[in-house]
């Protein structure tokens, strides 16, 4: 898995965190050389997801509780909308002894902009809206998603 020491598609960076370009991420995910951990909250992942078998959702809010379920022997790519949360989780996992962790450079925004696989249920859920005339919806739990306003 080819990584870089600095991101190209995002500004946020923490020293010591590795980054993986979306093209390389797609390659290693397609060949099952790595697993993608989506660190968005469950309601976010339900609205939009990466339709690959080796993608799992471990929200940032509970990642510490789930570390015991994540093998240190695999290559791990962490993803979120823009790369900020996933960079923070990559830093945490590095400190917890995970040797093969990388942030998806530019997050799912860059992934989607490149036309890579993504399934969206946003169109189905736009009827309610958040009330600010944006295109984001309010999930049934009433919490607003990132990226609005």
Residue bearing tokens 């993504």: 118
123 CB contacts (<8 Å, ≥6 apart)? none
Beta strands in the chain (DSSP E): 19-20, 34-38, 48-49, 55-57, 75-79, 101-104, 119-120
Give the chain's domain count: 1
Write the burial class of residue 53 (CB in 10 Å: 0-12 exposed, 13-18 middle, 19+ buried): exposed
Mean per-residue pLDDT over the chain, rounded: 87
Q: Is residue 29 a part of any domain in this protein?
A: yes
Decide if pLDDT at 127 tops 60.
no
Domain coverage including residue 33: 19-125
pLDDT category at 123 given cuts 50, 70, 90 is low
Give pLDDT tens digits for 17-48: 999 999 999 999 999 999 999 999 999 999 99
Classify strands 75-79 and 101-104 as parallel, antiparallel or unpaired. parallel
Q: Are 77 and 25 in contact (CB under 8 A)?
A: yes
| Residue 121 counted as domain residue | yes
Residue 97 CA to residue 122 CA, distance in Å, equals 36
User: What is the model's pLDDT at position 121?
Assistant: 87
CATH of the domain at 92: 3.40.250.10
């Amino acid at each position: 898995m080819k990584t870089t020491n600095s991101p190209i598609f995002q500004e946020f960076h923490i020293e010591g965190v590795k980054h993986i370009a979306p093209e390389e991420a797609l390659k290693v995910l397609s060949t099952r050389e790595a697993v993608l951990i989506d660190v968005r909250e469950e309601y976010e992942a339900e609205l939009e997801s990466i339709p690959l078998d080796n993608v799992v959702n471990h929200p940032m809010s509970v990642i510490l509780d789930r570390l015991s379920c994540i093998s240190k022997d695999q290559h791990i790519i962490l993803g979120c909308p823009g790369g900020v949360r996933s960079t923070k989780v990559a830093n945490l996992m590095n400190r917890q002894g995970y040797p093969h962790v990388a942030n998806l450079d530019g997050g799912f925004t860059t992934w989607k902009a490149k036309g890579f696989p993504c399934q969206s249920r946003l169109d189905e859920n736009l009827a309610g809206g958040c009330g600010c005339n944006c295109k984001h919806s309010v999930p049934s739990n009433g919490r607003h998603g990132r990226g609005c306003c």
